[in-house]
Amino acid sequence: MAVYTHLGAEDLARLMEHYDVGRLVSFKGIAEGVSNSNWLLETTQGRFILTMYERRIETADLPFFLGLLDHLSAGGCPVPRTIHDRDGAAWRMVDGKAVALIEFLPGLSPSAPTPGQARAVGSALAQIHLAARDFPQSRTSTLEPGDTLDILKQCGAAALGTIDPDLPPILETGEAIVHEWPRALPRSIIHSDLFPDNVLMLGDRVTGMIDFYFACTGSMAYDLAVTHAAWCFDGTGARCDRALGRALIEGYETLRPLGHDERAALPLLAEGACLRFIASRAQDWLDTPDDALVHRKDPMDFVRRLEFYRASGQSAFA
């Protein structure tokens, strides 16, 4: 479910009058996504996405997120640009909530990625890392391993055990990850959540990277590790497809070869990436009532991935 707020035809038509995008012809709410409300709008000039920011996103961060989309798009990356209103503003307020109108990009999110698609995504990720280097704004990550371990500690071992009896030991593993975490790797602006459902593709071509609402200043190799964990396993995290992993990293290195320090850190970075998704999923799981119409994502899918990275070390990326 990803339309939390009701906006009727008249509300949307009135809103569109503030933009130079023609007249509203049709619209529909988009079911995918969990954080924001999204509508697909069709006007006499084309298609657009309207996003209303509902959860987790601070209005104070919008200049960073929306400015980043415009910067990357202007730099030739497959990222939607924002449509500014007639006063030049990238977002407006509707009923006390911020909304932004965003370019619609064609494409489908792959549910069973191929090595060709993984290679293209690796290369697109490197492209945004390079293009973001001269983006003048920065944003501190709120999901470093220390932060995510704190989230798990706040959940508490007892509550984690109600999700799965094998979950509480993650608290101890998390301490080890925080202790060993590398702090001096090359940085840029990173996406931090480049799962297949945040990439639009036509065949082997990336047509869109979306949902930059976890983007922040961070280690580029960490972003590659997040993308490895997100793309290269079956749904439950029980099996890693090493061919996909190889293709992803090869694709990345066509534009930005990894340094020795980055390559050496990949297993630990991937463990940190898993810790981050275990924490947010566990928190959401415990915060979501049993009868809510939301599909809860299972933190154990990333516990299995973490165990794989811990057991395999460098060979996971060979």
Ligand X SMILES: N[C@@H](CCOP(=O)(O)O)C(=O)O
Ligand Y SMILES: Nc1ncnc2c1ncn2[C@@H]1O[C@H](COP(=O)(O)OP(=O)(O)O)[C@@H](O)[C@H]1O
* Interacting residues with ligand X (CB under 6 A): 33-35, 193, 195, 198, 211, 277, 280-281, 297
- Contact pick of 77, 105, 143, 167 for ligand Y (by CB under 6 A): 105
Residue nearest to ligand Y (CB): 33
Query: From the list ligand Y, ligand X, none, which binds 208 (C-beta under 5 to 8 Å, kind-based)?
Result: ligand Y
Q: Closest separation between CB of residue 97 and ligand Y, Å? A: 14
- Token output for 177: 């990850």
Establish if 30 lies at the interface with ligand Y (CB under 6 A): yes
Task: Report the partner that residue 10 touches, choosing among ligand Y, ligand X, none (CB closer than 5 to 8 A by kind).
Answer: none
- Residue 297 interacts with which of ligand Y, ligand X, none, CB < 5 to 8 Å by class: ligand X
Our finding on whether 83 is near ligand Y (CB under 6 A) is: no
Token pair 């057991």 in the structure block, residue: 311
Q: How far is the CB of 237 from ligand Y (least distance, A)?
A: 20
Taking CB under 6 A as the criterion, the residue among 61, 197, 250, 284 binding ligand Y is 197
Give CA 186 to chain center in angstroms.
20
Evaluate whether 208 touches 78 at the Cβ level (below 8 Å): yes
From ligand X, ligand Y, none, interface partner of 262 (C-beta below 5 to 8 A by class): none
Question: Which ranges of 22-87 would DSSP assign to H, the alpha helix?
Answer: 62-74
- Rule CB under 6 A: say whether 80 interacts with ligand Y: yes
Give dist(CA 213, CA 205) in Å, integer.
23
Which option in ligand X, ligand Y, none does residue 193 bind, with CB closer than 5 to 8 A by kind? ligand X
Supply the DSSP symbol for 58.
Answer: -
Closest CB 4 distance from ligand Y, rounded Å? 9
CB of 65 to ligand X, least distance (A): 12
Kindly list the distances between the CA atom of residue 206 and the CA atoms of 71, 105, 120, in Å, as whole numbers in the listed order.
18, 10, 6
Q: Of residues 35, 137, 141, 283, which one binds ligand Y by CB under 6 A?
A: 35
Exposure on the CB side of residue 252, measured as CA atoms within 13 A: 25
Q: Tell whether residue 32 is a contact of ligand Y (CB under 6 A).
A: yes
Q: Virtual CA dihedral for 278, 283, 289, 290, nearest 10 degrees?
A: 20
| Partner from ligand X, ligand Y, none binding residue 80, C-beta < 5-8 Å depending on class | ligand Y
Which partner, ligand Y, ligand X, none, binds residue 210 by CB below 5 to 8 Å per kind? ligand Y
Report the distance separating Cα 193 and Cα 173, nearest Å: 22
* Rounded Cα gap, residues 267 and 54, in angstroms: 34
Q: Are 197 and 109 in contact (CB under 8 A)?
A: yes
HSE of 170 in the Cβ direction (CA atoms, 13 Å)? 38
Burial category of 206 from C-beta neighbours within 10 Å (exposed 0-12, middle 13-18, buried 19 and up): buried
Tell me the site size for ligand Y, rule CB under 6 A.
Answer: 20
**Does 36 engage in binding with ligand Y (CB under 6 A)?**
yes
Q: Does 102 bind ligand Y (CB under 6 A)?
A: yes
